[in-house]
Structure 1
């Protein structure tokens, strides 16, 4: 890999994770829209943006191949269910001032992915991987007991995205990122439209609504932008992943939850009691252990076992 390719790959990859990490800023700007409305619009506008990208890139043959293969279509349909759950919980976390919980979920995700590999793919845990997972479990327990509540948002995000990634492995390299997202969001369109109709009939819709503070053309444009944001970040990620080794892409994924954590504490002013600080520090220690294990395994296996992710 040449120096120019390395630099461009780092720029593309870091740009994607910076966009994902900064997503809470857009979510807060969409208030007073609720989580269901934002998620429905994200799915709806994403499929339109993706279709436009497919048209520009001449990818209709790849899209047609994906939807005409029954197995591929079923796999992408199942993936759509989990990414929709992930999106909904993520947006809910942001609009209810639980960005810290979302950050924790995406920190935990690489560790959860390793555990899924053991359960579903028959992979064997190395010693340091086992240590990292054990530390992460302790971290979750510390945060849960300290806050007096089950950290369901973080665990639900890690679980839904981990299962999404596991399902996507079934199509492997046969479906590119844009084609996959196009099919997945297309599957979600009927549900998204039904949700938007229900929201409109209940009088809670903010799209095209007027007369309340914060609502207007600017708000509508921001809702449209969720589609461009989703597809744009994915394109940057795909461009970076093609130019970088897997272990570098895996390390870059920590940019997103780190930026989310910074926004939660220093921009949104979310509380950080001692138990939460201890929990986050333990998670960071677990990720360091996992990364060290990846670097140690790289000469033997070719790549580190730190999986890249497309967070939101």
Structure 2
């Protein structure tokens, strides 16, 4: 099997794990989201650190702490990814998995806006039409349901800002994410100390301190580490072996699986207003993907032409 095929398979595997992860978090719906998030942070740190230790790259995490600008960017990234994780867990627990899937469908179109505003990127008319369709979808859903799909908007915005910040971090994805969860670990430890030792109840009023009280819950919480780390490692492997356009297209498998789980497994309501919004978003993504593929092919043709021209001159 060639490297490109391995990359596509790794990307599909990563998206399947992400897309089906809502089933896992549903099993922990009786555990308050901040507690789940704290365990996800700590067990991710354990797993990522073990991976880097085996690879002999754990020292790269320490090197980031000697670079204030990079560390500041990683800290900001940690803030956005932890917010994203929290709201995804929370959305599953409160029965808004459909909205969560919509958020990850919207994300590429949010990225277009962020690239324009913060990076000065110039986009084609097709991509701007896609952004307008996404805005119409959100506006229509807000009108129809009488409330904005805030879960979708928060997930799309936080993930978009996370990706924007990560562009400026000069470190590999595993190293940077390990540093992110390392920075978040003290907050997670403080929360779990309050839960288990001080009897904090949080905003939910539910009984807290699941870890150690039930072996099934304890194992599930520990599994959050490899569940978080494995798809990221697969994604990193894939992104080095396939084109950016292919990565973008395969990524839609994630929200599609989330959507199917929400509607078929969780039996969440899917109203005509949802159908309208998703229809517009899917149309927007078709435009966006088609344009991305066209640009990718044009860039490859230009690259081949330049190499051919250089060879002819020599």
Greater mean alpha carbon deviation, residues 106-115 or residues 193-202: 193-202
State the match for 2:211 in structure 1: 208
CA distance in 1, matches of 2:58, 2:267: 46
1:228-239 alignment, distance < 5 Å: 228-239=226-237
Taking the aligned partners of 1:301 and 1:132, their CA distance within structure 2 comes to 21
Identify which of 277, 296, 303 aligns with 1:279.
277
Determine the C-alpha separation between the residues in 2 that align with 1:218 and 1:106.
30
1:228-276 Cα distance to aligned partner (Å, 9 max, x none): 1111111111111111111111111101100000001011000001010
Unmatched 5+ stretches in structure 1: 211-215, 304-312
Alignment partner, residue 264 of structure 1: 262
Query: For 1:96 and 1:198, how far apart are their aligned partners in 2?
Result: 24
Would you say 1:34 and 2:8 are equivalent positions?
Answer: no
Distance 2:211 2:103 in 1: 33
Once residues 71 and 229 of structure 1 are traced to their aligned partners in structure 2, the CA distance between those partners, rounded to angstroms, is: 30
Work out whether residues 196 and 205 of structure 1, in 8 Å CA contact, stay in contact via their aligned partners in 2. Answer: no
User: Alpha-carbon deviation of 1:209?
Assistant: 5.0
Q: TM-score, normalised by structure 1?
A: 0.91
Partner of residue 22, structure 1: 20
CA distance in 1, matches of 2:72, 2:132: 35
Match of 1:192 among 188, 195, 205: 188
Q: Is the 8 A contact 1:22 1:259 kept in 2?
A: yes
Q: Mapping of 1:52-131 within 5 angstroms?
A: 52-131=50-129
TM-score where L is the length of structure 2: 0.91
Could you say what secondary structure the match of 1:22 adopts? helix
Unpaired stretches in structure 2, ≥5 consecutive residues: 202-206, 302-314
Do 1:106 and 1:154's aligned partners in 2 also have CA atoms closer than 8 Å?
yes
Contact kept, 8 Å, 2:81 with 2:158, in 1: the verdict is: yes
Mark the structure with the bigger radius of gyration: 2
Q: Which residue of 2 aligns with 1:308?
A: none
- Counterpart in 1 of 2:177? 181
Deviation for aligned residue 1:202: 2.3
Partner deviation per Cα, 1:119-139 (whole Å, 9 max, x = no partner): 000111210011000000001
Structure 1 counterpart of 2:311: none
Q: CA deviation at 1:299?
A: 3.3
In the alignment, the residues of structure 1 paired with residue 32 and residue 247 of structure 2 have an alpha-carbon distance, to the nearest angstrom, of 33
- Alignment partners' CA distance in 1, 2:291 and 2:255: 21
Quick one: distance in 1 between partners of 2:259 and 2:288? Answer: 20
> Within 2, Cα distance between the matches of 1:70 and 1:99?
38
Task: Identify the residue that residue 164 of structure 1 maps to in structure 2.
Answer: 162
Secondary structure at 1:272 match in 2: coil
Secondary structure of the residue that 2:105 maps to in structure 1?
A: helix
Q: Tell me how far apart the structure 1 counterparts of residues 29 and 100 of structure 2 sit (CA, whole Å).
A: 18
The residue number in structure 1 matching 2:298 is 300
Question: Contact (CA 8 Å) 2:192, 2:209: kept in 1 or not?
Answer: no
Please say if residues 35 and 92 of structure 1, whose CA atoms lie closer than 8 Å, have aligned partners that are also in contact: yes
Paired residues, what number?
A: 294
User: 4+ runs of 1 displaced by more than 3 Å?
Assistant: 299-303
- Secondary structure at 1:94 match in 2: helix
In the alignment, is the contact (CA less than 8 A) between 1:32 and 1:206 conserved in 2? no
User: What is the RMSD of the two structures over their aligned residues, measured on CA atoms?
Assistant: 1.4
Deviation at 1:301, TM superposition (A): 3.4
Task: Give the Cα–Cα distance (whole angstroms) in 2 for the partners of residues 209 and 179 of structure 1.
Answer: 30
